Structure 1
Amino acid sequence: MSVPVDPGSQRDGFEHQDANVKVLLIVGFGIFATLLVAGFGVAGLLWWYDLKPDKPVTALERTVGKPPEPRLESDPRAGGTGVTTDGLALIEHYGWVDRNAGLARIPVDRGILLLAERGWPSRAEPEAGQPTPREQQARGRAQP
C-alpha cells in the first residue's frame, strides 16, 4: 500500500509536514493520567490493607520453644575454629593414642622425615612353600 507523497517534499528530499502536535499531546496526557490513576489505586489498596486488623495470634504461635535437634549453630565460625585448632593439635604434636598398648602419635612433618629416611614399609615375603594371604583367603572360600 503506497502513501501519496507531496510533490514538493519529493522534490526537496525531505518531509515538509510536521507531526500533529495536538495528537501527540493527547496521547502523552493519556499515558500520564493512566499512570496517575494506577498510582492512586495502589496507594488506596495499601491504605485499605493497613486499616484491616491483624489476625489474632493463636496460643501455639505465642509459645516460644526450641526447635528439634539438630539446631543451627549460633556462631558457626567458633565451631569451625575449634575443629581446626583441635585438628592442628593432633597433627603437630606428640601424644599417646593408647598408652597401655604402646601406641603413640607423632607430628606429620616428623613422620614424613622418618618415611624419607627409612623408606615405605613392605610386607614380609612368605617363605617358600607357605601360601600368601590371598591364597589362604581363596582356600577358605572354596571349602564348604
Structure 2
Amino acid sequence: MSRTPEVHVPETRDMSPRAVLWSAAGLVAFVAVALGLVAGLVHLLGHGRGPTPVTAPPPMAGGAPLDEVPYLGGAQVRARAEAELTRYGWADRDAGRAIIPIDRAMDLLARKGWPDPDDRNGDDRNAGGPE
C-alpha cells in the first residue's frame, strides 16, 4: 500500500514576450488614465490657478495695531490700563456699585473675605476681622 510520491515536472517553456508587452502597456495606460483623472479634478476644484496673491492690510487711522508692531503704542496701552486700575468712580450709581483701585479692592477682600451673595441687607456677618 505504499503510494508513489508525485513528481513535479518543471515548466518547459517561458512566458510569452507578447503577454509581457501587453501587461506593461496596460500598466502604462492605467497610470496615464489615473494621472489624467487627478489633473482634471485639480483643474475642476480650482487648485491649478496658482497661489493667491498676498496683499498688505489697509493702513489704520490710529496707527499700527500692537501685534503687528509690538514696540509702537505699548506705553499708551500700559498708561491707559494703569489709569483704569487705579481710579475711583461709579460703575452703577443707582445700584450703589463703585469702582475702586485694584490694590484697595484686594486689601478689602483679604481683610473681609468674599461677599456673600445671599446677604442682601448689607450686614457684615462674614467679616474676617475688624477694619
TM-score bracket, shorter-length normalisation: 0.3 to 0.5
TM-score of the two chains, using structure 1 as the length reference: 0.32
TM-score of the two chains, using structure 2 as the length reference: 0.34
Between structures 1 and 2, the one with greater helix share: 1
